[in-house]
Amino acid sequence: MHNPLVKIPRLVPVAEKINQLRRQVESDIRGFDIIRWDGTPYGKHPLQCMDIAEVNDLCPRDGWPAVLCIHGGGWIEGDKSQFIALLPQFAKKKIMAASVNYRLAPSVTWQEQVDDIVQAIDFILSQQVDTQRIALWATSAGAHLALLAAAKRPHQIRCVVTIGAITDPASLDTDMTREAFANPQDPLGSPLLQCAQLPKTLMLHGTLDPVVPIAQHTRFVAKHPQVTSWVLEGGDHHLRWPVAQGWNLRRKALQWLVQEMDIPSVGSKWRRRKKK
């Protein structure tokens, strides 16, 4: 099957293994004093699970702010390990971070995948979190699911960050969309048509994205002017190229999310207590 959204695993498996090793090393380096709960189930299906990272520190009175990371892979591939290096970065910012798996097509449809994301949000809300500070961070097909889930629960999501979001699946018309969509032309599966109500949203896209054309991003932002758009000139699908500019834009996106979360000041087990 031809899947243009996951070119590296199909064409250069060694490169993908090296990239995964790099993410693991970054996670280990950044993981000092981070507590992890890997493979935490949020549903009955084996794929309905998530990895959770939290800084080993005092929890805020109202609970941890939280972010749910949703992987890409064209609805048929990918997993939560995509964000193994990102979770500690959120945790260090006093945000509980979770990377979620969801059921994959063709075993399920995009509607059931959106249901998985909503179920994962409900699970996060049942934890020791600040229910007024829940965010989504997603890439590619995962961003498609994140936008639709946020449109269903705008009152529960504080903000959303997407990278290379698929906002108009019908215009892709690939084997991959036919696996996840009984009818790729179904307007209910199009964030372009269904996301009139969104929380604060930041969308990042590369002008040279070979997978999801920049035209999708442009049309979506034009129709939803409340969305903040950051475009990387010469950027690829995951903004990994150009290297320095892509890294810097992703870093700024993380800062944007932290600012939008408006995290209250908290104490710390590391802070010296002054005697009265």
**Given a cut of 70, is residue 246 above it in pLDDT?**
yes
What pLDDT band is residue 165 in, cutting at 50, 70 and 90? very high
Nearest one of 81, 117, 126, 112 to 99, comparing CA atoms: 81
Q: Which domain holds residue 99?
A: 7-261
Question: Which residues make beta-bridge pairs with 100?
Answer: 50, 70
The pLDDT confidence band at residue 2, using thresholds 50, 70 and 90, is very low
Number of separate domains in the chain: 1
> Would you say residue 235 has pLDDT above 70?
yes
- Percentage of residues in the chain having pLDDT higher than 70: 85
Mean pLDDT in residue range 152-170: 97
Q: Which residue type does 13 have?
A: P
125 domain residue, yes or no = yes
**Sequence-distant (≥ 6) Cβ neighbours of residue 264 within 8 angstroms:** 60, 62
Task: Band the pLDDT of 8: cuts 50, 70, 90.
Answer: very low
Per the domain annotation, does 154 fall within a domain?
Answer: yes
pLDDT of residue 32: 73
Q: What CATH number did the domain enclosing 56 receive?
A: 3.40.50.1820
Residue 9 pLDDT: 45
Q: Is the pLDDT of residue 10 over 90?
A: no
What would the mean pLDDT of 233-237 be, rounded to a whole number?
Answer: 97
How buried is 271 (Cβ within 10 angstroms: 0-12 exposed, 13-18 middle, 19+ buried)? exposed
Structural domain contains residue 185: yes
More confident: 25 or 98: 98
